[in-house]
Amino acid sequence: MTLIRCLGERYRLAEFDTEAVLFDTVSGDTHYLAPAAFARLNGLSLDEILRTVDPGAGPRLIEEIDRQLSDWGLGA
């Protein structure tokens, strides 16, 4: 059974282990969330992500993730 969460009225999130797929009910777009982005969406800090999710991820990657989530109105 896939866990599908509502993120506000606009987004639906299907979770698959450390990754997720985001569906935008307004545009109909579907987005892949890699482990680092999914962890950021769940509120993990940079240190936590570097430690637990993606040891190779740097601050620049986190900045890009934050920018993308912010564009979707889903800032961590």
| Residues at the contact surface with other proteins, assessed by CB under 8 A | 1-2, 4, 12, 14, 16-17, 19-21, 23, 25, 28, 30, 32-33
What's 53's DSSP letter? I
Of 24 and 66, the one with the shorter C-beta distance to other proteins is 24
Look up residue 67 and give its two tokens: 């920018």
CB of 76 to other proteins, least distance (A): 19
Give the separation between CA 75 and CA 67, rounded to whole angstroms. Answer: 8
DSSP code of residue 16 = E
Nearer to other proteins, 30 or 70 (CB): 30
